[in-house]
Every structure is written in structure tokens, then in C-alpha cells.
Amino acid sequence: MLSTTFLIQALSLVPLGLATPLPGTPVAPRQATASQIIRLSSIENLAVRSTGQILATNMNSAALISIDPVAKTSSTALTISGASGLSGIVEYAPDLFAVIGGKGIYRVDFTSTPPKSALIKTITEAGNLNGLSTFTNESVLVGDAGKGVVFRLDVNKGTYEQVIKDATMAPSGSIPFGIDGLRYRSSDSTLWYTNIFKNSFHRLTLDPVTGQAVGSVTTLWTNLMGDDLCFGPGEGSMKVYVATNGKNSLVEVDTSQQKPSPKTVATVSGSTSCAVGRGEGDKGVVYVSGGQGVYAVKV
């Protein structure tokens, strides 16, 4: 996940062609209207609580923002002590979230009132931690965009180890940034991830216990910018949605197809991440963070 401001700065330092899809990019149009939920700047990543509240991070602030998508209001849920900015966020157990703040991974506990946070672990050797995904109820996968690797972190013990390193995750360009968004799907033990400056999207089967790679990487495309991603709404959905950042869209990928291609489902300027609605009122809704705030897209 890269904020729009950071991306503009980054793209000024890399060859123009690196961030521009090649002619013939197989993106089929299927536009939906993106409805703005709230206007906020530099939103990095999103997660949705079981209450329906949306949690939003900002790489320039340690404040975790809570958004009410019905009332269209926002407030600071809490400020994470020890972090100067926040990026990846994921729920690993009911109302327990892991959040990246610099080289630290923090626990945010909404089971207490008010919510509280605590440092789980600092990964001192990390280059630039950014992507985050639930692996089990006791562990998460952490993407290091600066080094092009993935760590598995035990959220209870605070122990971690590097489990994946692959050329498709490696950083490139004048600003070393590689693997960006990542999501693990336990139903088929598959990790889906983007490499933002290589304009690529990949999948990899993992050992469901160790988190290490099983077999080789499958590359779905190499000519469309991808930032963070989320799984589609509905139990057992085979859809994956990818925010394309500088390409200003949300694309849908049907992973049940042998050779899935991205289909544009909405235009959102500077789209950085997405998360699906969890309530009766927002079934079939994907929330998308963009340069001007958070949007709702009916898929």
C-alpha cells in the first residue's frame, strides 16, 4: 500500500514506463459508481470491524481512524504509542487487529473500552514493512517491501521468521519498493500479492502450518499497477479486488478461472486499498481508500 502523495514522489524517480500498463492490457470495463463515504487525505489501508465501523491508517500519523459508513463521520479510535505512522492493518481474531507502525507490529484490542494498543514485536532487520495478512488466529504474514520478503509473526509469542523470498517480491526502481499488498486465503492455502513498481500480481501456494512456499509462483499479470487487495464479499467468494493506485481504479479478478484477467469495476482516484462490508446493510459493498477519502463500491 502506498499513499498517493508518496506514489507521486516515487514515480518521479522511476522510468515512466514502469508505472504505465503496456498496450493491450486486458482490463475489461465494468464501471460502477463509487460513492464517497468520507473525505480524508492520505488514507493508506482499511479494515472493517464486525460492528461495521471502518478502520483506516495513515502513513503520516499514529492515529487509527474509525469511520461510520452510515453516518459518514470519522473519529480517532486511538493513537498508537511508539509509532509515527501506520500502514497495514488486519483482524486476526475477533476485534483484535495487527497494525504495522514503522518496523513494529502492534496489537490493537477493541474487546476493551476504550480500545488499547501494545507492541507485539519490532522486526529490526526489516527494510520497509507494508503489507499484512492474517495467516492463522495466532499469526500474521508481514510483507517487507524494502527487502522483498515475507515474515510470519506469532502475535501471541512475538516470535517471527522469514518464510518467503522470491524474485517477484523484490524491490525495483530508484525507490526500493517491491511486494505491496498481500492476502492469504486459508481455504486453498494461497497467498495473493502485488509488486507495485513491477506492475505485477502473483499467487503462491503456502504450507498452511509453516507459511513457507510450496511449488512456484504463478504470475497473473505484469502490466498493471497493483497496490493493496481484498477478497470479495460473501462466504467462499473466489473474487479478488485490487486497488491500482496511480491507475485510479478498482479491478476484479475471478480466481476460479484458469487464466483470470482484471476487470475494472470502479474509478477511484489514487486507490490504495480495499475492504469488504460485513453487515446486512453493506453486503456486496467494497470500501476503497483513495486520494480524496474512502468510497463505497457495489460489486
pLDDT digits (tens, 9 = 90+) for 194-211: 999 999 999 999 999 999
Question: For the sheet containing 249-254, what is the strand order?
Answer: 28-32, 263-267, 249-254, 239-243, 229-231
Residue 76, judged by CB atoms within 10 A of its CB (0-12, 13-18, 19+), counts as: exposed
Going from N- to C-terminal start, the domains of the chain cover: 26-298
Q: What cell numbers appear for 160 in the block?
A: 517471527
Question: CA–CA separation, 242 vs 225, rounded Å?
Answer: 9
pLDDT value for 234: 79
Mean per-residue pLDDT of the chain: 90
How far apart, in Å, are the Cα atoms of 3 and each of 161, 187, 219, 228? 28, 31, 25, 11
**Phi/psi at 6 (nearest 5 deg)?**
-65, -40
Each residue of 65-118: pLDDT tens digit?
Answer: 999 999 999 999 999 999 999 999 999 999 999 999 999 999 999 999 999 999
Architecture of domain 26-298: 6 Propeller (2.120)
- In sequence order, the β-bridge partners of residue 223 are none
User: Mind listing the pLDDT tens digit for each residue in 258-276?
Assistant: 788 899 999 999 999 999 9
The sign one gets for the Cα dihedral 111, 153, 190, 20 is positive
Contact 145, 102 (CB under 8 A): no
State the pLDDT at residue 162. 98
Is the pLDDT at 21 greater than 50? The verdict is: no
Q: Which residues of 260-277 are buried (b: 16+ CB within 10 A; e: fewer)?
A: bbbbbbbbbebbbbbbbb
